[in-house]
Amino acid sequence: MATFTHDGTRLHPPESLSQPGDAQPLAVTPHAEPTGPRTHQTYQVDPALISLALGASGEAHRIVYVNVQDRTKRGQGHMRSLMATVMADLDADGMECTSIIRNYEPDCDPQRLTGLFEDFGFVVESTDPEIELRRPAK
């Protein structure tokens, strides 16, 4: 049967170089948050859906589609809640955002939709022929 003895020269640093009290605790690296962009192309929490066109480097993202499919669920805050998530991600990424209100459904109220965007910091830049909105990076 093999037996082992302590060899102080095989420690790092060797025992001969260390002094009492020199022990250093191991450094614990905290779990780092992801550093990549938080903004996604599609956000959906039924019944609301928001779709974005992500801008190339240095270009603004653009909201291209917003919808609450189930018309009986409109006006209940679903879109406002989802929009808050989108704006938080845009802010975290430091991104500017634009949108154009056009091709809306007949039962959509463009002024009410514009008001929703304005509540989240968008500014109307043009209303002819389409409603163009811009939100600066925060």
34-83 pLDDT per residue, tens: 567 899 999 999 999 999 999 988 899 999 999 998 989 988 999 999 99
Q: Which residue has the higher pLDDT, 81 or 24?
A: 81
Q: Is residue 44 part of a domain?
A: yes
- How many other CB atoms sit within 10 Å of the CB of residue 46? 10
32 backbone dihedrals φ, ψ, rounded to 5°: -85, 145
Give the distance between the most distant pair of CA atoms in the chain: 92
Q: Is residue 24 part of a domain?
A: no
Q: Is residue 25 part of a domain?
A: no
Q: Residue 116's domain is classified under what CATH number?
A: 3.40.630.30
Examine the pLDDT at 33 and tell me if it is beyond 70: no
Examine the pLDDT at 4 and tell me if it is beyond 60: no
Task: Calculate what percentage of the chain has a pLDDT beyond 70.
Answer: 75
Q: Is residue 32 part of a domain?
A: no
Q: Which domain holds residue 57?
A: 38-135
How many structural domains is the chain composed of? 1
Examine the pLDDT at 5 and tell me if it is beyond 60: no
Question: What is residue 90's predicted lDDT score, i.e. its pLDDT?
Answer: 94
Question: What is residue 46's predicted lDDT score, i.e. its pLDDT?
Answer: 92
Question: What is residue 105's predicted lDDT score, i.e. its pLDDT?
Answer: 85
Q: How confident is the model at residue 19 (pLDDT cuts 50, 70, 90)?
A: low
Question: What is residue 123's predicted lDDT score, i.e. its pLDDT?
Answer: 98
The DSSP code for 9 is G
Query: Can you give the pTM of this predicted structure?
Result: 0.72
Q: How confident is the model at residue 113 (pLDDT cuts 50, 70, 90)?
A: very high
Q: Is residue 27 part of a domain?
A: no
Q: Is residue 1 part of a domain?
A: no
Q: Is residue 120 part of a domain?
A: yes
Q: Is residue 102 part of a domain?
A: yes
The DSSP code sequence of 39-81 is: --SEEEETTEEEEEE---TTSPEEEEEEEESSGGGTTSSHHHH
